Structure 1
Amino acid sequence: MKIGIVGANGYGGVELIRYLVNHPYVEIKLLASHSSNGNSIVEQYPHLQGILEMNISELNIEDVKENIDVLFFATPSGVSKELIPQYIEAGIKIIDLSGDLRLQDGSLYEGWYKNTPAPPFALDKAIYGLTELNRELIKEATLVANPGCYPTATLLGLIPALQHKLIDGNSIVIDGKSGISGAGRKTSATTHYSEINENVKAYKLGKHQHIPEIEQIVSQIGNENITVTFSTHLVPMTRGIMCTMYANLKEPINESKVISLYEDYYKDDYFVRIRKGGTWPATKEVTGSNFCDIGITVDERTNKLIIVAVIDNVVKGAAGQAIQNLNVMYGWDEKTGLQTTPLFP
Structure 2
Amino acid sequence: MKIAIIGGTGYGAVELVRFLNNHPYAELKAIVSHSQSGVELSDVYPHTTDLINIKMEELDIDALSEVIDLVFFATPSNISKGIIPSFIEKGVKCIDLSGDFRLKSPDAYQKWYQSSPADQNYIDKAVYGLSEIYEEQVKGASLIANPGCFPTATLLALIPVMEQGFTDNNSIIIDAKTGVSGAGRSLSLNVHYSETNDNLKAYKLGEHKHIPEIEQTLQEQSGEDIQVTFSTHLVPMTRGIMSTIYIDLTETKSTADIIDIYKEYYKNHPFVRIRPEGTLPTTKEVYGSNYCDIGFHSDQRTGKLIIISVIDNLVKGASGQAIQNMNLLYGWDVTTGLNYLPIYP
1:290 correspondence with 2:290: yes
Q: Which amino acid aligns with 1:75?
A: T
Q: Which residue of 2 aligns with 1:338?
A: 338
**Partner Cα separation in structure 1 for residue 204 and residue 295 of structure 2:** 26
Q: Which residue of 2 aligns with 1:267?
A: 267
Tell me the number of residue pairs that the alignment of Structure 1 and Structure 2 aligns: 345
Q: Which residue of 2 aligns with 1:99?
A: 99
Q: Which residue of 1 aligns with 2:248?
A: 248
**Partner Cα separation in structure 1 for residue 254 and residue 285 of structure 2:** 27
**Partner Cα separation in structure 2 for residue 165 and residue 186 of structure 1:** 44
Q: Which residue of 2 aligns with 1:136?
A: 136
Written as runs of structure 1 = structure 2, the 5 A alignment for 1:166-205 is 166-205=166-205
Written as runs of structure 1 = structure 2, the 5 A alignment for 1:108-123 is 108-123=108-123
Q: Which residue of 2 aligns with 1:126?
A: 126
Deviation at 1:166, TM superposition (A): 2.7
TM-score normalised per structure 2: 0.99
Secondary structure in 2 aligned to 1:306?
Answer: strand
Segments of structure 2 that go 5 or more residues without pairing to the other structure are none
**Partner Cα separation in structure 2 for residue 220 and residue 69 of structure 1:** 31
CA-to-aligned-CA distance 1:222-258 (integer Å, 9 cap, x gap): 1111000000000000000000000110111121111
CA-to-aligned-CA distance 1:304-328 (integer Å, 9 cap, x gap): 0100000000000000000000000
CA-to-aligned-CA distance 1:70-97 (integer Å, 9 cap, x gap): 0000000011011111111111100000
Deviation at 1:123, TM superposition (A): 0.2
Segments of structure 1 that go 5 or more residues without pairing to the other structure are none
CA-to-aligned-CA distance 1:173-222 (integer Å, 9 cap, x gap): 00000000000000100000000001011000010000000000011111
Q: Which residue of 2 aligns with 1:65?
A: 65
Secondary structure in 2 aligned to 1:52?
Answer: coil
- Structure 1 contact 211–228 (Cα < 8 Å) conserved: yes
Secondary structure in 2 aligned to 1:133?
Answer: coil
Q: Which residue of 2 aligns with 1:227?
A: 227
Q: Which amino acid aligns with 2:297?
A: T
- Structure 1 contact 165–222 (Cα < 8 Å) conserved: no
- Structure 1 contact 172–245 (Cα < 8 Å) conserved: yes
Q: Which residue of 1 aligns with 2:21?
A: 21
TM-score normalised per structure 1: 0.99
Secondary structure in 1 aligned to 2:87?
Answer: helix
Q: Which amino acid aligns with 2:122?
A: A
**Partner Cα separation in structure 2 for residue 51 and residue 243 of structure 1:** 35
Secondary structure in 1 aligned to 2:252?
Answer: coil
Deviation at 1:21, TM superposition (A): 0.5
Q: Which residue of 2 aligns with 1:4?
A: 4
Q: Which residue of 2 aligns with 1:329?
A: 329
Q: Which residue of 1 aligns with 2:84?
A: 84
**Partner Cα separation in structure 1 for residue 177 and residue 271 of structure 2:** 21
**Partner Cα separation in structure 1 for residue 30 and residue 284 of structure 2:** 32
CA RMSD of superposed structures (Å): 0.6
